[in-house]
């Protein structure tokens, strides 16, 4: 059975998470403080972790940073009442795979967990092919296809798509994209990203296909399985 660790100090929120995920057939353990949560995350062999940002004894940001430093690659859904863009970016850069703000709908939380679990099952560190729904990216041949149809990508479009697909389900800010794809450590104040996202959408999400690339207003872009 798929095992989930929920690290959450608010008992009401924790019970909601446990009940919802358990109803989807997942085995959920709950701890209510950061120090024990980190210990369980390291030693518990979990398939996914839901992690509150604000915790007693050890902060959620410190937990995710420590886990990634130790090489623990377990997918992490960060959950927090801190909803501004800077906090989301900090959580994602520290190693979180997704970020959900409180209050949240439990069915959305469960859907995000399912997406991260699917991603974990299909994309590993040794993977030669990235997949999101019927979109595939071959990391060896640098070829992309959707529904079996080969797509013609320019080099920068390929690099942008690879970055999006390596972070499936994760909102990527403009600054994150500039740094990874173009090597800029500042926003040049151009529509460079918008142009390339627009070109990718024409090739990947033509009329008749379920859109995979989404714009998250005020936050950035994300590619994800249709929910």
DSSP-assigned states of every residue in 154-217:
-HHHHHHHHHHHHTTT--B-HHHHIIIII--SS--SSSHHHHHHHHHHHHHS-TTSPP-EEEET
pLDDT at position 190: 82
Instruction: Determine which of 4-13, 25-34, 112-121, 132-141 has the lowest per-residue pLDDT on average.
Output: 112-121
Supply the pTM of this predicted model: 0.55
Tell me how far apart the alpha carbons of residues 31 and 14 are, in angstroms, rounded to a whole number: 9
Q: What is the pLDDT of residues 44-92, one digit of tens each?
A: 889 999 999 999 999 999 999 999 888 888 999 999 888 777 888 888 8
Q: What is the pLDDT of residues 94-128, one digit of tens each?
A: 889 999 989 999 999 999 999 888 877 654 445 68
- Determine the average pLDDT of the residues in 14-18: 96
Tell me how far apart the alpha carbons of residues 161 and 179 are, in angstroms, rounded to a whole number: 14
- Determine the average pLDDT of the residues in 204-225: 91
Token digits for 94? 């520290």
Under the banding of pLDDT at 50, 70 and 90, the label for residue 21 is very high
Tell me how far apart the alpha carbons of residues 15 and 109 are, in angstroms, rounded to a whole number: 13
**C-beta of residue 87 within 8 angstroms of C-beta of residue 53:** yes
Tell me how far apart the alpha carbons of residues 217 and 220 are, in angstroms, rounded to a whole number: 7
pLDDT at position 125: 44
Token digits for 71? 């090489």
- 220 or 118, which is more confident? 220
**Could you tell me the CA-to-CA distances from 181 to 40, 162, 195 in Å, in that order?**
36, 9, 14
**Could you tell me the CA-to-CA distances from 159 to 107, 163, 209 in Å, in that order?**
33, 6, 22
Token digits for 123? 């994309």
Tell me how far apart the alpha carbons of residues 205 and 31 are, in angstroms, rounded to a whole number: 41
Q: What is the pLDDT of residues 156-199, one digit of tens each?
A: 999 999 999 989 888 899 899 998 898 887 777 788 999 999 99
Query: What is the per-residue DSSP string for the chain?
Result: --EEEEE-S-HHHHHHHHHHHHHTT-EEEEE-SHHHHHHHHHHS--SEEEEESS-SSS-HHHHHHHHHHTT----EEEEES--SHHHHHHHHHHT-SEEEESS--HHHHHHHHHHHHHHHHH--TT-SEEEETTEEEETTTTEEEETTEEE---HHHHHHHHHHHHTTT--B-HHHHIIIII--SS--SSSHHHHHHHHHHHHHS-TTSPP-EEEETTTEEEE----
pLDDT higher than threshold 50 for residue 27: yes
pLDDT higher than threshold 90 for residue 213: yes
């Amino acid at each position: 059975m798929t095992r989930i660790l929920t690290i959450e100090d608010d008992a009401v929120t924790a019970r909601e998470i446990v009940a919802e995920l358990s109803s989807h057939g997942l085995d959920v353990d709950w701890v209510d403080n950061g120090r024990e949560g980190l210990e369980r995350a390291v030693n518990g062999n979990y398939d996914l972790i839901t992690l509150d940002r604000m915790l007693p004894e050890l902060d959620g940001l410190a937990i995710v940073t420590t886990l990634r430093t130790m090489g623990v690659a377990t997918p992490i859904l960060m959950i927090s009442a801190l909803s501004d863009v800077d906090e989301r970016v900090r959580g994602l850069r520290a190693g979180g795979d997704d970020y959900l703000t409180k209050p949240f709908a439990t069915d959305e939380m469960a859907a995000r967990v399912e997406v991260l679990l699917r991603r974990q099952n299909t994309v590993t560190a040794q993977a030669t092919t990235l997949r999101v729904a019927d979109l595939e990216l071959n990391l060896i041949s640098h070829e992309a296809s959707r529904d079996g149809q080969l797509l013609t990508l320019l080099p920068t479009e390929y690099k942008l798509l690879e970055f999006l697909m390596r972070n499936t389900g994760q909102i990527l800010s403009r600054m994150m994209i500039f740094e990874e794809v173009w090597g800029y450590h500042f926003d040049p104040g151009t529509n460079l990203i918008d142009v390339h996202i627009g070109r990718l959408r024409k090739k990947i999400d033509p009329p008749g296909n379920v859109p995979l690339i989404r714009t998250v207003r005020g936050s950035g872009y994300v590619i994800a399985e249709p929910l």
